[in-house]
Amino acid sequence: MAQLTMVQAINQALAGEMRRDDRVVVLGEDVGKVGGVFRVTEGLYDEFGEDRVIDTPLAEGGIIGTAIGMALYGLRPVPEIQFADFIFPAFDQIVSEAAKMRWRSGGEYACPIVIRTPVGGGIRGGLYHSQSPESLFIHTAGLKVVCPSNPYDAKGLLLASIRDDDPVLFMEPKRVYRAVKMDVPEGDYEVPLGRAKVVREGRAVTVVSWGAMVYESLAAAEHVSGEGVDAEVIDLRTLWPLDVDTIVESVKKTGRLVVVHEAPKTCGFGAEIVQRVMEQAFLHLEAPPARVTGWDTPFPYTLENEYLPLAHRIAPALASTAAF
């Protein structure tokens, strides 16, 4: 077992699965000789060659359309979209074709593709390199949406995603790529899709988050613990399918809910989580659910830290919700 960053863990997962299953191919802009803009695919081209690690033109619709065709002919492609902000030219291929293939064929065809893409802020990328578009894809029936927060989960979730017969959007928080190291087994393991994890136990308020915001939520929870507020923090890991049971079980214990995400508040995934809790645990709530999110504006460059829901914005929400 070695201490790996998320970049190294994802690279290890890709290499291991490509060795295990010759149906797995990687394609995208600069993923081959360059190894990707974040070097996540570094070394794969040298080991597996140009037939399985394919440098594509700058054409996201073409990348995903090609991957869908590969999947229908028996391969398991892992296309990379260089930044989630650039995924929109491929939106129609993802939501109209990949997501619907199993239904339109009456189950005759599956579309086992995993679309990897970096998401979120934290690297001074500005409005075209910092977006979090998860809710657009969660809204689309037929897609699974994953967002790991740490290297161990990233490897296990990616292996589970590649082996899944449904299309998966695998969102990687770029802020965490090299910021966190942890023990990651060298061998094969899966983290099951659709299961959240309680990463900090508490009894005063439930905090639900994912990706880079898990760390901000944990920091906020530690801060308010000094004020006597014992927060429970849940890392969703898989956004869809949503592990409602883990959230509801926690809210029944704490009676309070705060959801944290980078995306804008309006129609963000936090709204859906709040409603699910209202439907299943309304009588257990002792305070109105709260959301701490990005603002309803394009992602700024110079004011990045004012836009992001960092710990200093989360902590007051925890304290006020707990005190309600």
Catalytic residues: 129
Pairing mode, strands 114-119 and 168-173 = parallel
Q: CB-based contacts of 48: which residues, under 8 Å, 6+ apart?
A: 18, 26
Cα angle value 315/258/220 (rounded, 5°):
25
* C-alpha dihedral (135, 305, 171, 139), degrees to nearest 10: 0
Strand order in the sheet with 290-294: 197-200, 231-235, 205-209, 257-264, 290-294
Residue 99 gets which letter from DSSP? G
Residue 81 gets which letter from DSSP? -
In angstroms, rounded to a whole number, what is the distance separating the alpha carbons of residues 218 and 44? 35
For the beta carbon of residue 186, count every other beta carbon within 10 angstroms: 11
Q: Looking at this protein, which amino acid is placed at residue 153?
A: D
* C-alpha dihedral (302, 315, 172, 139), degrees to nearest 10: -100
Tell me the two tokens of residue 114.
């995993």
In angstroms, rounded to a whole number, what is the distance separating the alpha carbons of residues 165 and 310? 36
